[in-house]
Structure 1
Amino acid sequence: MPKPHVSSAVMTHPVRLAQAQDLADRLRLDGLALDPDPQGPPSALRTALVAWSAVRPGAGHHLVVQDDVDAPAELLEIVGRSAVRFPDEALVFYTNWHARNGAAARLAALAGASWVRAVPDEFTPSLALCLPVASAAAFRAYARDSAERHDDELLSAFFRGRGRMSLLAVPNIVEHIGTTSINDHAAQGIRLAVCPTSAADAAPLLDRGRVLEEPGWIPYMRYGEGFVRLVGQENGADGGRGHHPWRDALPATGLTEEAVRAARLPRHLAAEVARTFGDAFAEELWIHCLLLGHQAARAARSLGPLPDGVPPDALDRLRHSAVATAGPAGLPPERRPEAGPDEARAMTALAWAAVRAGGTLGQAFPTGRATVSMDAESSPDGSRPRGSS
């Protein structure tokens, strides 16, 4: 497979200069893009414009990462191979675990997909983003005179205007580190990757795995409550930014509350979650993952057979990674630090039980040529999700 020339830059601010330089050195990135007005009001876009201007001569694609991430040494190689596979796409290699796009990635993982199309009514995750150089130049021209300070919001507006949102890598090899924010996002608390995945697993999945272009309606959690992102809601008067509680959204999903309630809540698993986070959160997590399992089963049927060269065990580990982050991500930000090892295991057990029960509301998950484990009591390695404490 030919490798494109991918140039790269790390967005940073002088207060994180040493951290950014260490990141660039470890990952063999081309250099740093410093905030041109570090004493000015917070603006990620101001620095992003510098970063997207740092394209090296001869490059076909340009990768921009932010300074508060970690990634494996294989990052550039994996990005390069993905750019060969999708030469005209905007490729996202980190997605927040608590966002609508994170929910789309979690759903895609359960369905057996390795890439999913981003939703048009939310910011574009920009912690690790690769663009064709022509798209990078077009974005710079589009954004140069904007009063918007959030690059992720403006990227989504740019992609919406072109009629094609980014592709999200479902296995995340890039992880967010820390909870501070130069751009005033600290109130969001612990915010991590939705499907943290090893480079060894991610490489074949991203090289040959399936693409979920339209996941349909998407269940997600926000501040401890369950919501549904409806198909086409971006066309609403508010641009789709409103939140639809799951009860209100059910008529548009083809399900009824009676059908949802018919799936019996496992009281012993719910009690373990409720011990720390309360009965209301345990019930919302159960219903959220019940809807997630139902919709993932539906999405799986649209994907077709598993391609050659995609390891079923890697897909299985990806599913477990996705489910393990559902509970901690669904908590209110101020309560996420309470999700220690025991709490994380309890939430994962309840989430898996709900995902499996949700699958039976439609059809069982197709497993391709291998049996996929849906063990609700454990993860493949017994580990907790990264950053859940």
Structure 2
Amino acid sequence: MTKVTKLHVSSAVMTHPVRLVQAQHLAARLRLDGLAVDPDPQGPPSALRTALVAWSTAAPGASHHLVVQDDVDAPAELLEIVTRTAARFPDEALVFYTNWHARNGAAARLAALAGASWVRAVPDEFTPSLGVCLPSRTAAAFRAYADGSVERHDDELLSVFFRGRGRMSLLAVPNVVEHIGTSSINGHAAQGIRRAACPTSAADAEPLLTRGRVLEEPGWIPYMRYGEGYVRLVGQEQDTDGGRGHHRWRDALPATGIEEEAVLDALAHLPDDLAAGVARTFGREFAEELWVHCLLLGCQAARAAHGLGPAPDDSPPEMLDRMRRSAVATVGPAGLPPERRPEAGPDEVRTMAAFAWAAIRAGERLPAPRPGA
């Protein structure tokens, strides 16, 4: 391998011929180095096939390589932000987008509420691969690892690769990469609208990512999928199914140390006006699931914040507040079933966000989890 003499981030947009023009515009606007086109566009859909081309385009002498997918939006400052964060974390795999309804998206949302700008990815889920920067040595190792694999999802294989190395990626909590559209060449269209968990402007993201705190271990993580609340438990990746199963919140409560009576009491006292506003469009059952989810989110975020310690002296509090509001604004639409997400217009999103904040504040007041849970 060519010797790396200084920090330099090379870059590529991975694309398919049907999106070639879109990818060309993206690369030009973001001043990225070039395109990595699917080498077998008529073959079976495979994101990994194109990803391997993209990761092979690292420039000679580059210390890091950034790969973004063609169906994203990002600020013109993306490359500068990536370069500065790579300088801060030179040996880490850095991820700049998290899916709003996935476990890693939920981890980012929890970290945002706790006041962290980075969070370690969970080991039992795919690595969000819409915008990823790897050290060049890591990129080369991943290419060697993935060569000949029958897996077609690069995001799944990235997680397997990181797990094998004993260190998952770092997720940027303020997302500067956003997914656009609902189509999917790789078969994910059924997931509907897929947005970032915490969309953030470049002006806020840059100081947060270069100076903000890191949440290494978020603990158990509440998340929603298809209108129902779940909890990702600590050590779940050691389950016989590799941790890919889903634990409903009521079943998971004993492992969190939170008494079910406390949750049910809070559920009995949810704010009627806001609950009615959510239920009017999405039903009472969804409103109650969203309430419990955000109640647990508030409880666990308060615990995580305590473990983080004090913020740096130059931490921008107003930016942290905007990051938290952004994360909470996505929790309602992300929790809906895919077919219902288009119904979440601006008014519905505001109502769900106000409802979510009420639940988060109530969660912060829940009795402390049992010691040792």
1:324 equivalent to 2:332? Answer no
For residues 307 and 219 of structure 2, the distance between their equivalents in structure 1, rounded to whole angstroms, comes to 11
Q: For residue 301 of structure 1, give the secondary structure of its aligned residue in structure 2.
A: helix
Q: For residue 114 of structure 1, give the secondary structure of its aligned residue in structure 2.
A: strand
What's the CA shift for 1:3?
7.7
1:270 equivalent to 2:275? Answer yes
The answer to whether the 8 A contact 2:258-2:367 is kept is: no
Correspondence for 2:371: none
What's the CA shift for 1:345?
1.0
Describe the superposition over 1:70-110 as per-residue Cα deviations: whole angstroms up to 9, x where unpaired: 10011000000000000000000000000000000000000
Structure 2: any 5+ residue segments left out of the alignment? Answer: 369-373
What's the CA shift for 1:352?
0.5
1:352 equivalent to 2:357? Answer yes
1:15 equivalent to 2:3? Answer no
The answer to whether the 8 A contact 1:115-1:209 is kept is: yes
Describe the superposition over 1:269-299 as per-residue Cα deviations: whole angstroms up to 9, x where unpaired: 1000000000000000000000000000000
Code of the residue aligned with 2:36 in structure 1: it is A
The answer to whether the 8 A contact 1:122-1:156 is kept is: yes
What's the CA shift for 1:57?
1.3
For residues 127 and 3 of structure 1, the distance between their equivalents in structure 2, rounded to whole angstroms, comes to 26
Alignment of 1:260-339 (within 5 A): 260-263=263-266, 264-339=269-344
Correspondence for 2:232: 229
The answer to whether the 8 A contact 2:118-2:171 is kept is: yes
For residues 223 and 52 of structure 1, the distance between their equivalents in structure 2, rounded to whole angstroms, comes to 33
For residues 176 and 273 of structure 2, the distance between their equivalents in structure 1, rounded to whole angstroms, comes to 34
Structure 1: any 5+ residue segments left out of the alignment? Answer: 364-389
Correspondence for 1:36: 39
Correspondence for 2:218: 215
Alignment of 1:114-133 (within 5 A): 114-133=117-136
TM-score (normalizing by structure 1): 0.92
TM-score (normalizing by structure 2): 0.96
CA change 1:73–1:362 in 2 (3 A) is farther
Correspondence for 2:66: 63
For residues 241 and 54 of structure 1, the distance between their equivalents in structure 2, rounded to whole angstroms, comes to 32
The answer to whether the 8 A contact 2:6-2:63 is kept is: no
The answer to whether the 8 A contact 1:121-1:240 is kept is: yes
Correspondence for 2:245: 242
For residues 260 and 14 of structure 2, the distance between their equivalents in structure 1, rounded to whole angstroms, comes to 46
Question: Which of these residues, 89, 94, 98, is aligned with residue 97 of structure 2?
Answer: 94
Moved more, 255-264 or 162-171: 255-264
Q: For residue 113 of structure 2, give the secondary structure of its aligned residue in structure 1.
A: helix
What's the CA shift for 1:60?
0.1
Correspondence for 1:27: 30
1:149 equivalent to 2:149? Answer no
Code of the residue aligned with 1:295 in structure 2: it is Q
Question: Which of these residues, 158, 175, 181, is aligned with residue 161 of structure 2?
Answer: 158
Moved more, 342-351 or 46-55: 342-351
Q: For residue 274 of structure 1, give the secondary structure of its aligned residue in structure 2.
A: helix
Describe the superposition over 1:118-157 as per-residue Cα deviations: whole angstroms up to 9, x where unpaired: 0000000000000000000000000011000000000000
What's the CA shift for 1:359?
0.6
For residues 298 and 256 of structure 1, the distance between their equivalents in structure 2, rounded to whole angstroms, comes to 16
Correspondence for 1:367: none
Provide the identity percentage. 82
For residues 339 and 10 of structure 2, the distance between their equivalents in structure 1, rounded to whole angstroms, comes to 38
Correspondence for 1:73: 76
What's the CA shift for 1:362?
4.9
The answer to whether the 8 A contact 2:23-2:70 is kept is: yes
Correspondence for 1:258: 261
What's the CA shift for 1:361?
1.2
CA RMSD of aligned residues (A): 1.0
What's the CA shift for 1:309?
2.2
The answer to whether the 8 A contact 2:298-2:364 is kept is: yes
What's the CA shift for 1:308?
2.5
The answer to whether the 8 A contact 1:3-1:81 is kept is: no
Correspondence for 1:381: none
The answer to whether the 8 A contact 1:204-1:309 is kept is: no
Describe the superposition over 1:40-65 as per-residue Cα deviations: whole angstroms up to 9, x where unpaired: 00000000000000001110000000
The answer to whether the 8 A contact 2:68-2:132 is kept is: yes
Code of the residue aligned with 1:15 in structure 2: it is V
Describe the superposition over 1:9-58 as per-residue Cα deviations: whole angstroms up to 9, x where unpaired: 00000000000000000000000000000000000000000000000111
For residues 349 and 164 of structure 1, the distance between their equivalents in structure 2, rounded to whole angstroms, comes to 36
What's the CA shift for 1:310?
1.7
